Amino acid sequence: MPSPFPGMDPYLESPTYWGGFHTRFIVALSDAISGQLPPGYYADVGQHVWLEDEPGDDRHPFAIPDTYVAADDSSGGTAVATRKKKKQAAPALEVSLPKLKKRPHKYVKIVDQPGNRVITVIELLSPANKTGEDRNAYLQKRTEFFAAKVNLVELDLLRDGQRMPFGKPKPPPADYFAMVCRGERHPKASVWAWTVRDLFPELPIPLKPADDDLELDLRACFDRTYDGAGYRTRLRYDRPPDSPLRVADAEWMTEKVLPKA
């Protein structure tokens, strides 16, 4: 049974469900694209891995240098710098340095099979991409895609967090966004904006300039993800979503959506 919402289901934005939804939706997108690709391409799921230090405390030096430089003028000649070995001081304690944390992030890539070159990347933003934990790393990767003239399709299905920079003019206020930037047209890009009341847009997926775009039916991918994970019986529609809706949208949800759920 499909979601009662016409487009994105705000209950899936909860941290309880987002991780599983992200993985399943990425796979659904990859499968939908694979079925449309012309010869010479393939689609697959790739993974970025962000590395960061765990928080550590301030530490003070606990050893003294084991060499020093002295001036030896006993011969009456010119002073010569001489390295003299000092006894090594025993360490005061043994410490554990902050560990590196790995934060994987899955995406869809379309690859030119003969040259094994990435042509298009489809990114589904996660909360960490928008709240600062991984934001700088993601923005750097985004810049690398632009510089390499890789087509970038970016999906933001989260109402919370800081939006990605879109440049000018700013898109209209909305709950969800999609951006398609063709490598050969950068810095120009196309942006779709919609609310929790709207249907998913159908997006063009660019390949190499000589090839026609694919059409990505986001709703079909969403329905496959939603049904495959059994979200209809798992989501608590008897409670407000974790990320509150605007008052008017909450009233619309109560009157038009959930009574039919």
Residue 209: what are its φ and ψ, rounded to 5°? -55, -30
Q: Cα(first)–Cα(last) distance of the chain, in Å?
A: 10
Domain that holds residue 140: 10-51+98-260
The H or E element spanning position 245 is none
Predicted confidence band at 68 (pLDDT cuts at 50, 70, 90)?
very low
106 burial via Cβ count (<10 Å: 0-12, 13-18, 19+): middle
User: pLDDT for 121-167, tens place per residue?
Assistant: 999 999 999 987 789 989 999 999 999 999 999 999 999 999 999 99
Q: Summarize the confidence of residues 175-199 as an average pLDDT.
A: 97
Q: Residue 92 falls within a domain, yes or no? A: no
Question: Is residue 66 included in any domain, yes or no?
Answer: no
56 lies in a domain? no
The predicted-structure confidence for 94-111, as pLDDT tens digits, reads as follows: 766 656 566 678 999 999
CB 31 within 8 A of CB 75: no
User: What is the number of domains present in the chain?
Assistant: 1
Q: Is residue 45 part of a domain?
A: yes
Q: Quick check: 88 pLDDT over 80?
A: no
Task: Determine if residue 230 is left, alpha or beta; phi over 0 gives left, psi from -120 to 50 gives alpha, anything else beta.
Answer: left
Separation between Cα atoms, residue 24 and residue 18, nearest integer Å? 10
Asked if pLDDT for residue 65 goes beyond 50, the answer is: no
SS3 (DSSP) at 151: strand
Q: Indicate whether 59 belongs to any domain.
A: no
Give yes or no for residue 71 having a pLDDT over 50.
Answer: no
Tokens standing for residue 162: 């800081």
Residue at 211 is within a domain: yes
Task: Give the pLDDT score at 213.
Answer: 98
pLDDT higher than threshold 70 for residue 180: yes
pLDDT band of 15, cuts 50, 70, 90: very high
Tell me the mean pLDDT in the region 11-25: 97
Torsion, Cα 24 29 32 37, to 10 degrees, reads: -140
In a domain, 5, yes or no: no
Nearest CA to 109 among 96, 122, 97?
122
Distance in angstroms (rounded) separating the CA atoms of residues 102 and 105:
10
Strands 41-53 and 100-112: antiparallel
Q: How many CB atoms lie within 10 A of CB 46?
A: 15
Q: Which residues pair with 118 in a beta bridge?
A: 111
Predicted local distance difference test score (pLDDT) of residue 49: 72
pLDDT-derived band at 50, boundaries 50, 70, 90: low
> Coil, strand, or helix at residue 243?
coil
Locate 46 and state its tokens.
């790739």
| pTM of structure | 0.80
Round to whole Å and give the CA distance between 11 and 224: 17
Whether 44 shows a pLDDT value over 70: the answer reads yes
More confident residue, 184 or 88: 184
Rounded Cα–Cα distance for residues 108 and 46 (Å): 6
How do residues 220-246 score in pLDDT, each as one tens digit?
999 999 999 999 999 999 999 999 999
Report how far residue 86's alpha carbon sits from residue 68's, in angstroms, rounded to the nearest whole number: 8
Q: Is residue 147 part of a domain?
A: yes
Q: Note the pLDDT of residue 97.
A: 61
**Type of residue numbered 51:** L
What are the helix (H) ranges across the chain? 15-34, 127-131, 135-147, 218-229, 231-234, 247-252
